[in-house]
Amino acid sequence: MTGCGNATSFDGGVPRAYETHLVPLLFEPYAEDLAERVRALGPASVLEVAAGTGAATRAMASALPKSVSIVATDLNQPMLDQAAELGAARPVLWKQADALQLPFADRSFDAVVCQFGVMFFPDRPRGFAEARRVLRPGGTYLFSAWDALPANELAEIVQESLGALFPNDPPRFMERLPHGYHDPARIEADLAAGGFAVPPRIDRVTRRSRARSARDAAVAYCYGTPLRHEIESRAPGRLDDAVAVAETAIARRFGRGAVDAKMQAFVVAVEA
């Protein structure tokens, strides 16, 4: 989810925490859905941009025939290193690349896939234009983007709880970036600006976000996303205080045992 030219930092301890806590909480259910959609397209070659630590990559490696080539890219090398270390069910080419300036020839792939990365593109029409450029005629660009914060229970609870901890300067990372690109009309307009002439198919997909405990969910958000940097910049040394506040808020809603919360996203498919 970090394969584009922006200042969002997924470094330090974030990649490991992201993979350990955030991937099972948020990304695996959508990765399986995305992989099945790609399989239904019957591509011979797939490019993934903003692959992060490889949740969707691994799902595609398992779901697609072994004859399908998969190239997985991300701008952030530490995230890509984490993905490569975990590997996949079969060979994948891992390559550092900016989604806004892809190092591939025109018409190179049958499908381009991006799971929860487009929200971070500083210039979305340009990123979409790059995806279209490397797609073969008739190929498909398939991507996901989170719905608004109120449709995603854990993200909303965490943001609200940290607002109470930092009342004068509440961290708004969740609302601003991951959950800041949720208007279908805007998505369609950006795709058109990127050169896609065919109207996209936009599906709203609801899944469950599950964690063993409120603490596990709080750690996932506070340690495994750039929200960590927003917390530490406001109060160095108080990251664990933020986790405790988020944990209390999540437990108040879901109890101290296992967490089962609603999450919702858009899955977009558009033909080149």
Q: Identify the CA nearest to 50 among candidates 102, 125, 89.
A: 102
Q: Identify the CA nearest to 266 among candidates 188, 161, 156.
A: 188
Q: Identify the CA nearest to 107 among candidates 142, 131, 135.
A: 135
- Whole-number pLDDT of residue 8: 52
Q: Give yes or no for residue 2 having a pLDDT over 60.
A: no
Confidence band of 7 (pLDDT split at 50, 70, 90): very low
Give dist(CA 175, CA 155) in Å, integer. 9
Cβ-based neighbours of 243, under 8 Å, separated by 6 or more: 215, 218, 219, 222, 223
Confidence band of 10 (pLDDT split at 50, 70, 90): low
- Whole-number pLDDT of residue 4: 47
Q: What is the pLDDT of residues 238-252, one digit of tens each?
A: 999 999 999 999 999
Q: Give yes or no for residue 202 having a pLDDT over 90.
A: yes
Residue 208, burial from CB neighbour count under 10 angstroms (0-12, 13-18, 19+): exposed
Please state which architecture CATH assigns to domain 14-148+176-210+263-271. 3-Layer(aba) Sandwich (3.40)
Give dist(CA 218, CA 242) in Å, integer. 8
Q: What is the pLDDT of residues 207-223, one digit of tens each?
A: 999 999 999 999 999 99
- Whole-number pLDDT of residue 12: 52
The residue-averaged pLDDT of 122-136 equals: 98
Q: What are phi and psi of 232, to 5 degrees?
A: -65, -30
Task: Identify the sign of the CA torsion 28, 215, 222, 147.
Answer: positive
Give dist(CA 225, CA 82) in Å, integer. 15
Tokens of 56: 């969707």
The residue-averaged pLDDT of 23-50 equals: 97
Q: What is the pLDDT of residues 41-83, one digit of tens each?
A: 999 999 999 999 999 999 999 999 999 999 999 999 999 999 9
Beta bridge partners of 93: 71
Q: What is the pLDDT of residues 158-196, one digit of tens each?
A: 999 999 999 999 999 999 999 999 999 999 999 999 999
Confidence band of 156 (pLDDT split at 50, 70, 90): very high
Tokens of 179: 């959950």
pTM (whole model) above 0.85 = yes
Domain boundaries, given as residue ranges, for the chain: 14-148+176-210+263-271
Residue 156, burial from CB neighbour count under 10 angstroms (0-12, 13-18, 19+): buried
Q: Are 37 and 142 in contact (CB under 8 A)?
A: yes
